[in-house]
Amino acid sequence: MNLVFMGNPAFAVPALEKLAASDYQIVAVVSNPPQKMGRGKKMRETAIAIKAKSMGLDVIQEQDLNSSHFIRELEELDADLFVVVAFRILQTSLISIPKLGSINLHGSLLPAYRGAAPIQWALINGDEETGLSTFFITPKVDTGAVIFQDRLPIHPNDNYGVLSERMGNLGSDLLVKTINLIKSGAASAIKQND
């Protein structure tokens, strides 16, 4: 099965590593272009772009996800599935390209904490538990039908870095489980309650 992986931060790195070590073929990795960051405003690449390049994977760094050139480039990859982890909002023109759809790994038990920064919101709100969700992407942000969810406790001393690392590792396993189910044709997704 051919996959296109899309992601940016360190949270997504364990998923990329796990998928690259699996029987699935990552035909391209999509990540943001380098941006000026930090006090020195030096150009820096995303954690995913750095990791993907170090693994010898083809990396596409496109600013305009709606450009006809980018859409055509993705269509030519003939991917079975787009796998998205902590990336950007995808329009319908992208979501519909792969044969089996597009899936996302989200850092909350959807529908809770849809949108950006779900791990941070769970910590800010003093939640004792959080989790991860895999779901089919739809045009409306983080509202697609859920394939799998996995829970984990938030420990009293957890901060964003510690919790994000634990969730990234757990999420990588959840993604492989999700893709295996989709490949088998047995994926049944449950519509989210609003």
Judge if the upstream peptide bond of residue 98 is cis by omega within 30 degrees of 0. Answer: no
Chain segment 71-119, per-residue pLDDT in tens: 999 999 999 999 999 999 999 999 999 999 999 999 999 999 999 999 9
pLDDT at 38 over 90: no
Say how many domains are in the chain: 1
Judge whether residue 194 has pLDDT over 90: no
| pLDDT tens-digit map of 40-74 | 888 899 999 999 999 999 999 999 999 999 999 99
Structure confidence at residue 187 as a pLDDT band (50, 70, 90): confident
Residue 171 binned pLDDT confidence (cut-offs 50, 70, 90): very high
Q: Is 107:142 a contact under the CB 8 Å cutoff?
A: no
Does some domain include residue 190?
Answer: no
Tell me if 189 is assigned to some domain: no
Cα dihedral across residues 110, 179, 100, 48: positive or negative? positive
Residue 191 lies inside a defined structural domain of this protein: no
98, 111, 149, 156, 167 from 134: Cα distances, Å: 17, 11, 6, 26, 13
Query: pTM score, two decimals?
Result: 0.95
The token pair that represents 90 in the structure block: 């995808």
Helix axes 13-20, 47-54, angle to 10 degrees: 20
Mean pLDDT of 28-35: 96
Quote the pLDDT of residue 173: 97
The shares of helix, strand and coil residues in the chain, as percent rounded to the nearest 5, are 35, 25, 45
194 part of a folded domain: no
Residue 11 lies in a domain: yes
Residue 192 inside a domain? The answer is: no
For residue 175, being part of any structural domain is answered with yes
pLDDT of residue 148: 96
Question: Which candidate, 92, 89, 120, places its Cα nearest to that of 104?
Answer: 89
CATH number for the domain that contains residue 158: 3.40.50.170
pLDDT of residue 41: 83
Q: Say yes or no to pLDDT of 168 above 80.
A: yes
**Which one, of 124, 126, 116, 172, lies nearest residue 153 by Cα?**
126
What's the Cα-to-Cα distance from 104 to each of 66, 140, 157, rounded to whole Å? 19, 13, 28
Please write the tens of the pLDDT for every residue from 125-156.
999 999 999 999 999 999 999 999 999 999 99
Residues of the domain holding 18: 2-184
